[in-house]
Amino acid sequence: MEKENTYYGVKEIARRANVSIATVDRVLHNRSGVSEKTKKKINDIIKELDYQPNILASRLASKKIISLAVLLPRVSEETDFWEAPMKGVTRADSEIKKYGVQVTTFYFDLNDPATFNEQAAAILNGDFKGVLLAPSFIEESRKFIRSCREKRIPFVFIDSDLPDEDNLCYIGPHLFQSGYVGAKLSTYRLKEKHKVAVVNISKETDGYNYLQIEEGFRSYFKDHDLPIEIIRIDIKDTDSLSVTRDLTRALHKDDDIEAIFVTNSRVFSVAAFLEKSKRSDISLIGYDYLKENIAYLNTEQIDFLICHKPEEQGYRGLMALYQTLVLGAPVEKTYFMPIDIITKENQAFYQN
Amino acid sequence: MEKENTYYGVKEIARRANVSIATVDRVLHNRSGVSEKTKKKINDIIKELDYQPNILASRLASKKIISLAVLLPRVSEETDFWEAPMKGVTRADSEIKKYGVQVTTFYFDLNDPATFNEQAAAILNGDFKGVLLAPSFIEESRKFIRSCREKRIPFVFIDSDLPDEDNLCYIGPHLFQSGYVGAKLSTYRLKEKHKVAVVNISKETDGYNYLQIEEGFRSYFKDHDLPIEIIRIDIKDTDSLSVTRDLTRALHKDDDIEAIFVTNSRVFSVAAFLEKSKRSDISLIGYDYLKENIAYLNTEQIDFLICHKPEEQGYRGLMALYQTLVLGAPVEKTYFMPIDIITKENQAFYQN
DNA sequence: TATATTTACGGGTACGTACCCGGCATCTTA
DNA sequence: TAAGATGCCGGGTACGTACCCGTAAATATA
């Protein structure tokens, strides 16, 4: 059993062009030292044979290593959501490590924009050939990627987008549509059709992503002519006490809220509050496959979770950099993640 | 920038064992010609260094090719469901082709068990090192895999399982739980809580998979003490006329059916029937991300689709064979696919 | 015209593994 | 005891590409 010899390599190209392998190699990597005439001749043969380099041999022979930086929120006691993207990053790393890629991870604190700036500066100081980041802080991220662009370092966004920036690509949810799905799920147990609340628990309550999600959420009710009042609740401090305080006040003001849609993974803190308040009449929808959230899904305090495959985002994000920088292959400008619906019944088989 | 030298190769092993590279190689491929003593010494060093062979170099140096067979239903006019697993197979093929793997696909007709037997025989005649198949016909598959076992050819099931057989692995849904989710979704628009129908449109109406799904479906109602009558409707002939005839009869007999759960991808033919009969009062749940099904999802004739990532099944199935046969790495015995819920709202972003 | 510099290219080795071939002991057998 | 058989092992080349180094010819400079 012999391997088919359908592939032509540099050797065949060299033979046909009456030059040495080294010269063909120079043309392939457009290094200097080849006359225009031979260069053209070789390029023609390359095209004619539809030459595909053998990546195995190429990476084997090359000694170059490529350094990539990853800039993500640190896993905190408050939420371990970012564990998942990191898992994806690690998986990608171990796959491409043998191809000469080295990944360094930098963490920032979601409650402290200054840490983002610090880490971003560290990345700019290092000699990195590409960056993967979650642009959680809008302004800080804008500043950072401006520097990247100046240094010609390609960058990839995951989880949330920053519009109008010439990033390499965005890998994450279609935020508007995600809110739209959240709205539909919110109507699942709606009876009197009075009020629903959309809750944002985050330092950055007027960021681009949040606005997009809320817009999608509202659009669903508009599109279906549902005369429902939507209460917006912003909770700037993410600790459990603040959540309890703000929610108590909000539910006191509007006691006929029938459904709550939390725009991020902190839905478990709302679930905890509702449980303590013995409010099982309010349906609760939120985001992300976290241990805490799944627990409340199982006790039916949470009705649905929406999830955007965070692990795959990390994996694909790093792979996108690998593809452009190592393989020189083009990547899609935006890659929308599926909008997965998790219930008590199907959660056991969900792939984060 | 130099590649880190964290990896030890055969050279280092040879050096430490005071033998040549060739001898290490003999041990690695447990070929003959090495004394027990040196063999043990080398194996100890291999373990100590946690030696991982460089697949790049290995496949580059090897001239062997490995042939794999794929046995799947042909895409028919009736349903193009099997396009998706084939896409996954093709994707895996193109990824591993360069590692010296050759894939040959055999198709059978879902309406004719004889074609399965023919193709199975053809595979047994060829010199294949592994088989990926969908055991759609229970008895025929049993016979086929018995021969595979005798010839020591590993086989992988996708889409549906055959219990109690020592296959390499099963990649597909947890059928019982899938039916359970289907039941929950069936209650979405239930009002009077009278009757629901579970419809099986297939030549093989008493196969293992169908029974598992129905059991899961019934269990949901039992677990939640819902006093609902479940009507079972078997439709042996899959053409549109037969479906119409059988459904007309069934709905005439039980005119208070509120929800229909179709146990496979042929839910679109039920949707077509309901549309013609102007029965938008019946909620309809079925399987798989097909063009026809999505169309009815968009017109809201179908409420929910359940999907088990058919493309990934094909991809992973082939990769499982690749892993065992080429890389010699172990694979999970069963790999349950997620039970994805598709609605009109999230369908645009579904990854089959 | 003689010398220095640049241009254009080929030879050859390395990457880590697979595997052929040949050689040196040790062991059989007559 | 000599001839062959066998067990055990090392040398060396190949896989397809990357890239260093050397060199002859072409061109520039004196």
Q: pLDDT for B264-291, tens place per residue?
A: 999 999 999 999 999 989 999 999 999 9
Is residue A345 a part of any domain in this protein?
Answer: no
Same domain, A131 and A85: yes
pLDDT for the residue B308: 96
- Residue nearest the C1' of C7 (CA based): A33
Amino acid at the residue B60: L
Same domain, B163 and B184: no
CB contact under 8 A, A343 and B181: yes
Please write the tens of the pLDDT for every residue from A273-297.
999 999 989 999 999 999 999 999 9
Confidence at A200, pLDDT banded by 50, 70, 90: very high
Please write the tens of the pLDDT for every residue from B153-191.
999 999 999 886 778 899 999 999 999 999 999 988 887
Is residue A234 a part of any domain in this protein?
Answer: yes
The two three-digit tokens of residue A81, written as one number: 């959501």
Same domain, B181 and B303: yes
| Cβ-Cβ contacts under 8 Å, A336 against chain B | 349
| 3-state percent breakdown (helix, strand, coil) of chain B, nearest 5 | 45, 20, 35
- Which residue, B252, B85, B52, is CA-closest to B157? B85
Instruction: Let me know the angle formed at the C-alpha of A107 by A106 and A112, rounded to the nearest 5 degrees.
Output: 135
d(CA B216, CA A328): 48
Closest to A184 (Cβ–Cβ): which among B2, B64, B343?
B343
**Chain B residue whose CA is closest to A216:** B345
Average predicted confidence (pLDDT) for chain A = 90
The two three-digit tokens of residue A234, written as one number: 């912003």
CB contact under 8 A, B184 and A64: no
Same domain, B74 and B149: yes
CATH code at position B47: 1.10.260.40
Element (H, E) at B6: none
Is residue A271 a part of any domain in this protein?
Answer: yes
CATH code at position A75: 3.40.50.2300
d(CA A172, CA A85): 11
d(CA B189, CA B193): 9
Is residue B60 a part of any domain in this protein?
Answer: no
How, if at all, do strands A66-73 and A101-108 pair?
A: parallel
Same domain, A189 and A297: yes
How far, in Å, is the CA of B314 from the C1' of nucleotide C17?
31
pLDDT above 70 for B141: yes
Q: Which positions in strand D are less than 7 Å from the protein's CB atoms?
A: 7-12, 14-21
Q: How many domains does chain B have?
A: 3
Quick check: B100 CB within 7 A of strand C?
no
A61: the nucleotide nearest its CA (via C1') is C15
Percent of chain B with pLDDT over 90: 69
**Domain range spanning residue B268?**
175-307
Same domain, A166 and A315: yes
| Cβ-Cβ contacts under 8 Å, A102 against chain B | 4
How far, in Å, is the CA of B29 from the C1' of nucleotide C26?
26
Is residue A59 a part of any domain in this protein?
Answer: no
d(CA B13, CA B162): 44
| Cβ-Cβ contacts under 8 Å, B338 against chain A | 340, 346, 349-351
Same domain, A297 and A183: yes
User: What does the CA dihedral A13, A16, A21, A23 come to, rounded to 10 degrees?
Assistant: -100
Lowest mean pLDDT among A3-7, A315-319, B238-242, B311-315: A3-7
Residues in B whose CB is inside 8 Å of some CB of A read 1-4, 7, 54-57, 59-60, 63-65, 67, 98-100, 173-174, 177, 180-181, 184, 188, 220, 336-341, 343, 345-346, 348-351
Same domain, B241 and B143: no
Closest to B349 (Cβ–Cβ): which among A54, A57, A338?
A338
Is residue B351 a part of any domain in this protein?
Answer: no
Confidence at A327, pLDDT banded by 50, 70, 90: low
Lowest mean pLDDT among A327-331, B7-11, B182-186: A327-331
Confidence at B3, pLDDT banded by 50, 70, 90: very low
pLDDT for the residue B164: 67
Is residue A266 a part of any domain in this protein?
Answer: yes
Is residue B216 a part of any domain in this protein?
Answer: yes
| pLDDT, average across residues B44-71 | 87
Element (H, E) at A191: none
CB contact under 8 A, B336 and A345: no
pLDDT above 80 for B6: no
**A contact test, residue of B345, B351, B352 with most A CBs within 10 A:** B345
pLDDT for the residue A3: 44
Same domain, B16 and B75: no
pLDDT above 70 for B351: yes
Please write the tens of the pLDDT for every residue from B293-341.
999 999 999 999 999 999 999 999 999 998 787 766 668 899 999 999 9
Same domain, B211 and B265: yes
Same domain, B110 and B194: no
Same domain, A143 and A229: no
How far, in Å, is the CA of A220 from the C1' of nucleotide D5?
86
